[in-house]
Amino acid sequence: MSSRPNPLKLNPLQLKTLAILQEVARSGGGASEALEDGGVALNRLPHAHGDHFHVGSAVVRAKDATGLANPGVFGALRRKGLVAMAPDGRPVLTPVAMSYDTGVAEAILHRSDH
């Protein structure tokens, strides 16, 4: 990717959604499956309980994750080559998506200091 911040010009909701999807892909634990081409198939997406949900070792506020249920966001991420669909219907983060610096991960993925 370009050294320029946000080279694909994702909007704030798309950036947040991609950051959460990247964390799901990296967290393992049955949530994702690495593919031979460097992409990652997502087996399940997180669901909020109350005002937050857990992704790996991070906590995400539900208000930062509205894009996970928005088909328009997934459509935009597909058009920009960041998300594909596996033959079985699962979303797949492409290698480009896995290396994309959203710049928002630290702001929305809250981690414990202990």
Q: Is residue 66 part of a domain?
A: yes
Structural domain including 55 reads: 12-111
Classify residue 50: in a domain, yes or no: yes
Rounded to whole angstroms, how far apart are CA atoms 35 and 29?
15
Q: Is the pLDDT of residue 18 over 70?
A: yes
The encoded tokens of residue 66 equal 């509205």
CATH number for the domain including 53?
1.10.10
Domains of the chain: total = 1
Domain membership flag for residue 22: yes
- The Cα 47–Cα 29 span in angstroms is 16
pTM over 0.95: no
6 lies in some domain:
no
pLDDT digits (tens, 9 = 90+) for 26-61: 987 778 898 889 999 999 888 888 899 999 889 999
Task: Indicate whether 78 belongs to any domain.
Answer: yes
Asked if residue 77 belongs to a domain, the reply is yes
